[in-house]
Amino acid sequence: MANYLIIGGHGKIALLTAPLLTREGHIVTSVIRNPDQTADVEAAGAKALVLDVENASQDELADAFAGQDAIVWSAGAGGGNPDRTYAVDRDAAIRSMDAAEQAGVKRYVMVSYQGASTQHGVPEDNSFFPYAEAKGAADEHLRNSGLDWTILGPGKLTLNEPSGRIAVGSGAGEAGLRDTSRGNVAQAIRVALETESSMGQQIEFVDGDEPIVAAFAQL
């Protein structure tokens, strides 16, 4: 049994992830900003922790992380406001990584996106540019941290029923940004947390034919 904390606990991926983890006997704490979301989080089997990560200090985050075995970042500003995108997807994410180190929580799983990089190539006049910049910077900070990290890079997110099967790496990029069920991302989070070979890996994937467990075992 492990203690896992999910940041962005009311997001679609987080609400699908929590039941997978609690079903295996783990204790899940889901961080939310809006207390009105508590019932949804609890219905998914997690404990709700109301904390505004956008404005929380590193010390406040470290206090919240104490006693956890892993941190999962599944939060996002949701686009539309570049300043808030940088504040959440870059700055708050980076503070959470530093807070994890401060709290002695070594394991950290980041939900990013397929193609995320500081060399993302998105033009500055593209509305996606702030998000690409923010995620690229956050992922780079994580790679250079002292944490046991995994970066998950799913393709275009859908609400399709999860198949439990993905295509990883070169197979994920053959047709550009392909569909990836949020349910499959949730399963990938669960498998990553249980798979040492996923540490230090940026894993890009889309819906495919290989069972997730098998795909991660080959990393």
d(Cα 131, Cα 137) in Å, to the nearest integer? 10
The predicted pLDDT at position 194 comes to 96
Helix (H) / strand (E) element for 29: namely: strand 27-32
* HSE (side-chain half, CA atoms, 13 Å) at 128: 9
**What does the pLDDT look like over 71-98, one tens digit per residue?**
999 999 887 899 999 999 999 999 999 9
Provide the residue type at 79 as one letter.
G
The yes-or-no verdict on residue 175 having pLDDT over 80 is no
d(Cα 160, Cα 34) in Å, to the nearest integer? 27
Say which residues have a Cβ less than 8 Å from residue 216's Cβ, sequence separation at least 6. 188, 191, 192, 195, 197, 198, 203
Number of domains in the chain: 1
d(Cα 82, Cα 161) in Å, to the nearest integer? 31
Structure tokens at 81: 């406001």
Q: What's the count of helices (H) and strands (E) in the chain, helices before strands?
A: 9, 11
CATH number of the domain enclosing 85: 3.40.50.720
The yes-or-no verdict on residue 172 having pLDDT over 90 is no
d(Cα 122, Cα 150) in Å, to the nearest integer? 24
d(Cα 1, Cα 63) in Å, to the nearest integer? 21
Has 131 been annotated as catalytic?
yes
| DSSP type of residue 89 | I
Catalytic member of 4, 108, 113, 131? 131
**What does the pLDDT look like over 117-157, one tens digit per residue?**
999 989 999 999 999 999 999 999 999 999 999 999 999 99
**Model-level pTM?**
0.95
- Mean pLDDT value across residues 97-107: 98
Domain that holds residue 157: 3-217
**What does the pLDDT look like over 34-62, one tens digit per residue?**
999 999 999 999 999 999 999 999 999 99
